[in-house]
Chain A
Amino acid sequence: MHQINKLVYYFAILLIILSINFFLPRVMPGDPLSYLSDPGADMPARMTEEKRELLLEYYGLDKPISEQYISYMVGIIHGDLGWSIYYGAPVLEVILGRLKWTLLLVGTSTAIHVPLGILLGATSAWARGKKKDTGLLISILSISSFPSFFLGILLVIFFGIKLDLFPINGAQTAFATYSSPFGKIFDILHHLVLPATTLVISHIGGTYLLMRNSMLGVLGEDYIMTARAKGLSEQYILHRHALMNALLPIVTMTAMTVGFLIMGTIFVETVFAYPGIGNLLYNAVLYRDYPLLQGIFLFMTIAIVGANFIADTIYVRLDPRVKNE
């Protein structure tokens, strides 16, 4: 029952987001054609009133707003997000073609930076005030504070060009033919190393710091003292008692940073010419491809809502107190 309620709740959020996505451009003054047809505008060529009406009718913009809203919603249900002006293809198709690369990149770096940040944060908290803690704190914070594009460029220079260990652009070698499927997988992973490393380094600081603080708080709790009073070993207490409690805020934070992670890929994908959503977004802004932009924003918000849903589900499993509320 609880799960169903939650689904309804998330469905409502999605509906609101879709509506905002629809109304936001429409509350602006004018319409997409007004700059071409305004009689007062200083333009070399001007659209005639008949032509303008024809185009508005073609795009359905002459219909009442409620009708437009319904057809927009119906379109989305059918997977129709409109037509990309720059790519000359359906927006959905363009996005889906790029999505897998971003999922691979963001997925890989999240799968590395979250567990690694948790591990290092817990280690640091456990050794609070000792050399190990100070060393970790200083080194992680200093490398994480590099802007990701700068870090990416450094990696390109050292590992891509100087040492020539990794390819520096694209997601796979162009026009390559592979003798086996493993060859292809290796090629893709080879291309993934540098951009994924950049993302891991630029995001690990947040996870590490939060985990360290969360763990320090938990280690001061009375139930940790109870566990010690039972004669349990420090290792056991760390794993069985402290870690679970300290992880709770991490789950929330990881879900909340999904948006930032996708934003982060804009820089990283641009530096490495990685054909993902971030790169696509950058081009869409550059070429003012509004339908494509809208489509990407829609996907991003869906990703964020989805991540929150997953976090909600995990949280209930981790913290029994949430279940009954």
Chain B
Amino acid sequence: MTLLEISDLKTHFPTQSGIVRAVDTIDLSIRERETFGLIGETGCGKTVLGLTLMRLLHPTTTVEGTIRYRGKNLLTISEAEMRLIRGEEIAMILQNPTTSLNPVMRVGEQIAEAIRLHQGLRRRAAKEKAVEMLDSVRIPAASRRANEYPHEFSGGMKQRAMIAMGLACDPALIIADEPTKGLDVTIKAQITELIKETAKEKAMLLITHDLGVARALCDRIALMYAGELVEYAATEEIFENPLHPYTRGFLGSLPGNGLVPIPGMSPSLIDLPDGCRFHPRCSHAKAVCRKKHPELIEVEAGHFVRCFDA
């Protein structure tokens, strides 16, 4: 069953130097209880996609297309309706827990406020629920920790607290933006394990550039390049049968596969190359790649690729 269906989604920012096409025509759907990985280099538009789904971008941003969540188009409902969806139906765990927690508010209160709002619990009951949530993400001595401030938490604990905050109102979909960024290896493994457990019950859009984490957690994976999806398929299919040169390059840059970087840099989202957006960095680029923009085609059941070669 489809939970979230995105079609023809475009998110453009008007700036003084031109229009930034951060998300440029994206179609994808997330099923109930599915973990969907969105992978790409920094600046490819993956965080913007997450924020677009939550409608958290600045009002001057132009967003086109449809985002259908349980039949409702999130782009046309009122702001008041959208607020009821945020946190309660769809929760987003923002990246950088250090800056994403309010430094002058107790951690427990930052979790409890969402519980009071969405579940109508009284102050004390919400506080108890917040402590339960901290306990469930395995923060030791949760009732004491709930009364502490973010600066008293370690990096891993802050990330756990962010996860607890996202889970607090039992949302159907969680958008997790780089939840393992900046954590050392052992903590990363713990957080990955924690996300795996929580993702069993819920649908998740996992935004990351860490293929290892994506492989451990995701049912399906999509590769995003310069604002569009270039390939998506079931996780094992991506790892065993990568078809797009960008996907292959990304896999080749993994430590286990020889650490071979993709040459060149990702293009500016203001001034995108003609034809295939990846052709300036592609070793297989042909004449057609420079002129025509390839469509996303289904090469096998459930395996989509945007490449003339596939």
Contacts and interface: CB of A to CB of B under 8 A. Distances in A.
A320 B85 contact: no
Contacts of A231: 83-88, 114, 117-118
A318 B56 contact: no
A321 B149 contact: yes
Interface hub of B86, B103, B152 (most chain A Cβ within 10 A): B103
B121 to A, nearest CB: 14
A319 B104 contact: yes
Interface string A223-239: 10111111111001000
B113 interface: yes
Interface string A304-325: 0000000000000011110010
Contacts of B102: 223, 226-227, 241, 245
Contacts of B54: 228-229
Nearest to B111: A230
Interface residues on chain A, size class? 20 to 34
B105 A240 contact: yes
Given A228-B56, A244-B104, A223 B83 contact: no
Given A232-B117, A244-B104, A225 B56 contact: yes
A42 interface: no
Contacts of B110: 226
B96 interface: yes
A229 B94 CA distance: 9
B113 A230 contact: yes
A161 B202 CA distance: 74
A253 to B, nearest CB: 18
B116 to A, nearest CB: 10
Contact of B83 (A222, A233, A324): A233
Contacts of B114: 230-232
B151 A229 contact: no
A50 interface: no
Contacts of B151: 320-321
B146 interface: no
A245 B165 contact: no
Contacts of B217: none
B100 interface: yes
Contacts of A318: 104
A222 B87 contact: no
Interface in A228-280: 228-233, 236, 240-241, 244-245
A229 B103 contact: no
B229 interface: no
Given A232-B113, A320-B149, 7 more contacts: A225-B56, A226-B94, A226-B110, A228-B56, A232-B83, A232-B117, A240-B113
Contacts of B86: 228-231
A40 to B, nearest CB: 67
B22 to A, nearest CB: 16
A230 B133 CA distance: 15
A4 to B, nearest CB: 23
Contacts of A230: 86-87, 91, 113-114, 117, 165
B117 A221 contact: no
A307 B118 CA distance: 43
B206 interface: no
A245 B88 CA distance: 26
Nearest to A244: B104
Given A230-B87, A241-B105, A320-B151, A225 B100 contact: yes
Contacts of A223: 99-103
Contacts of A324: 152
B223 interface: no
A233 B102 CA distance: 16
B38 interface: no
A139 to B, nearest CB: 26
Contacts of A240: 105, 113
Contact of B100 (A222, A232, A245): A222
A230 B82 CA distance: 11
Nearest to B103: A321
Nearest to B83: A231
A76 B9 CA distance: 76
A275 B184 CA distance: 67
Contact of A222 (B85, B96, B165): B96
A222 B91 contact: no
A19 B72 CA distance: 74
Contact of A226 (B84, B85, B100): B100
Interface in A193-241: 221-223, 225-233, 236, 240-241
Contacts of B103: 223, 245, 319-321
